[in-house]
Amino acid sequence: MRFGIIAKPHLEAADTLRQFLSYLRERRIETVLDAETAALVGETSSHQKSRIPAQVDVIAVLGGDGTLLSVARLIGCYDVPIFGINLGSLGFLTEVTLEELYPTLDKVIAGDVEYDERLMLTARVLRQGEKISQSIVLNDIVINKSALAKIIDMEAYIDGRYVANFKADGLIVSTPTGSTAYNLAAGGPIVHPKMRAIILAPICPHILTNRPVVVKDDSQIEIVLKSEKTEVLLTLDGQVGFSLRGGDVIQIDKATCTIKLISCPGKTYFDILRTKLKWTQR
């Protein structure tokens, strides 16, 4: 078995990473590190991050949900599961805590684990009919304005049929996995990650009856940016983005591949919700 290891590039990950590497190597598990991860523990042997998914059987992510999201986009359609290890507060995606790490790792090495398969989305940007960008996301695609820009005017189509004009600060198109991220903050619904659905949630809509909409996962979504003089950004998983222009068309549909997350034994999605959202507190 070959383990790819990608850690959050900060010093707080170093001690855990050293122990993790030692544990694997004592069991003769081969490890593949990217340059930033190797630098944390003073190792010189490293691999180009983009090539790691093609070389390993599983990728361990040490960090938080942001680190895992970047790795999910990196994996794309490689059939490589992610073992998410949380180094801070409990995450929705990096659900294995340090206390649970080694008992769970033993199960991963033995092949005695369950995989949580998650829907991903593909986003394409067309400008004057030409595709200028294409990306895969695990959480969400967000069209939003810059700090001082005016309200954004967008036309939405689903399966080629006109839905509505959204006049708002932006629009979130989210997977069920991303429903507990920006979508939740914008008043969208929490959708169980095993649901095959896509959520459209306007951000601060000018018309209060513009509410979040949940559609089936095989829907073909098209957003046409009508605003001409407003600074508008497209953001992917809250990490990667670029500027849009009036007339740009954003096409969104289900990706041809999914991401597999290794589940922590004995922990359910609702256990994570209760803890993360503090549902048991008053």
Q: List the chain domain ranges.
A: 2-114+263-276, 120-257
Q: Are 141 and 123 in contact (CB under 8 A)?
A: yes
- Residues whose CB falls within 8 Å of the CB of residue 159, separated by 6 or more in sequence, listed in order: 219, 220
Give the CATH class of 120-257: mainly beta
CB atoms within 10 A of CB 51: 13
The domain made up of 2-114+263-276 has a fold known as Rossmann fold (3.40.50)
Residue corresponding to tokens 């950004």: 233
Dihedral pair phi/psi, residue 67, rounded to 5°: -65, -40
- Return the pLDDT at 149: 67
> For tokens 């042997």, what's the residue?
45
Taking the C-alpha atoms of residue 204 and residue 207, their distance in angstroms, rounded to an integer, is 9
CA nearest to 171, candidates 219, 203, 208? 203
218 is catalytic: no
3-state secondary structure of 188: coil
Backbone φ and ψ of 133, nearest 5°: -160, 145
How long, in residues, is the chain?
282
Is the alpha carbon torsion for 77, 195, 6, 73 positive or negative? positive
DSSP 53: G
User: Catalytic one among 65, 140, 237, 248?
Assistant: 65
What does the buried/exposed string (b/e) look like for 141-176 if buried means 16 or more CB atoms within 10 Å of the residue's CB?
Answer: bbbbbeeebebbbbebbbeeeebbebbbbbbbbbbb
- pLDDT for 70 equals 94
Find the angle CA(23)-CA(74)-CA(35) to the nearest 5 degrees: 55
Beta strand pairing call for 249-262 and 197-203? unpaired
In 111-220, alpha helices (H): 182-185
List per-residue pLDDT tens for the chain, 282 residues long: 999 999 988 767 899 999 999 999 999 999 999 999 999 999 888 899 999 999 999 999 999 899 999 999 999 889 999 999 998 666 788 888 889 999 999 999 999 999 999 999 999 999 999 999 999 999 999 999 876 668 899 999 999 999 999 999 999 999 999 999 999 999 999 999 999 999 999 999 998 888 999 999 999 999 999 988 888 999 999 998 889 999 999 999 999 999 999 998 888 889 888 888 888 776
Q: What is the pLDDT of residue 271?
A: 86
Exposure letters 54-80 (e unless 16+ CB within 10 A, then b) = eebebbbbbbbbbbbbbbbbbbbeeeb
Q: Beta-carbon neighbour count of residue 245 at 10 Å?
A: 13
Chain centroid offset of residue 7 CA = 16
| pLDDT reported for residue 92 | 84
Distance CA 276, CA 95 (A): 11
